[in-house]
Amino acid sequence: MKRYTMFGALAALVLVAPVGHGQAVGAGAAVDNRSVPQMRFEWEDFIKLKDGENLGEVLGVAVNSKGEVAVLNHPGTATSGPLFGNATTEILLFDRNGRFKREIGKRVYALGYGHSIRYDRHDNLWIVDKGTDSVIKFAPNGKVLMNLGRRPEGYDSGHYEPPKQADARPRDGWFGSPTDVTWDQDDNIYVSDGYVNSRIAKLNKDGDWITSWGKYG
């Protein structure tokens, strides 16, 4: 357990002394920080990585019914082309004590630039990937059970230009940079679709399209 001291956001409110009528504080006025109260906080190094290993840009964390933790990570070591620049996706699994277990999803074509990660009530793990326009369902053993949407064909240019809302032509069964997923009591699937299509898509538990609603603006 590590303990540190920091200046809290609320403490910033007392940095400026009361100002009376007709008084103003200049932009360059000195502030006496000696009287600012300090706030204490604690954190525990829960995630345990091997020496020399680091997390990159963590996009999401999910916890299953056993307390195991899944981390959606962008390490910034892409080798698969100019998809959102230097981007790739790792799915790292840890036990309930934060010890690293394994990585799943290696060489899965639908993984490119993950946006969110969720466990459903059956402990299946779902990844929503805005870069590949896909939603991927993994079984608890790491096997791919379902892929919704379709990754666009390879981009030939070295400069990626994402589609804009004005260019969107939503189609059933296709996503445009989806962002998240959830389910109802019947395991129907709801996808927020997303940066481009700006709608909610509903599919049944087998991945069959039911309907969608909403639009940009």
Question: Could you give all domains of the chain from N- to C-terminal order, each with its CATH number?
Answer: 50-154+170-213 (2.120.10.30)
Residue 130 has pLDDT above 60, yes or no: yes
**In the block, residue with structure tokens 């070295």:** 158
Residue 167 has pLDDT above 80, yes or no: no
Structure tokens at 128: 């929503």
CA-closest candidate to residue 100, choices 43, 42, 54: 54
Question: What is the rounded CA–CA span in Å between residue 211 and residue 145?
Answer: 22
Percent of the chain with pLDDT over 70: 74
Q: pLDDT, tens digit, for every residue of 53-95?
A: 888 889 999 999 999 999 999 887 655 455 555 567 899 999 9
- Please confirm whether the linkage preceding 81 is cis (ω < 30° from 0): no
Characterize 120-157 residue by residue with b for buried, 16 or more Cβ atoms within 10 angstroms of its Cβ, and e for exposed.
beeebbbbbbbbbbbbbbbeeeeeeebbbbebeeeeee
Q: Which residue has the higher pLDDT, 7 or 112?
A: 112
Kindly state the average pLDDT of the residues 132-161: 84
Percent of the chain with pLDDT over 90: 50
Quick one: CA dihedral 180, 184, 189, 191, positive or negative? negative
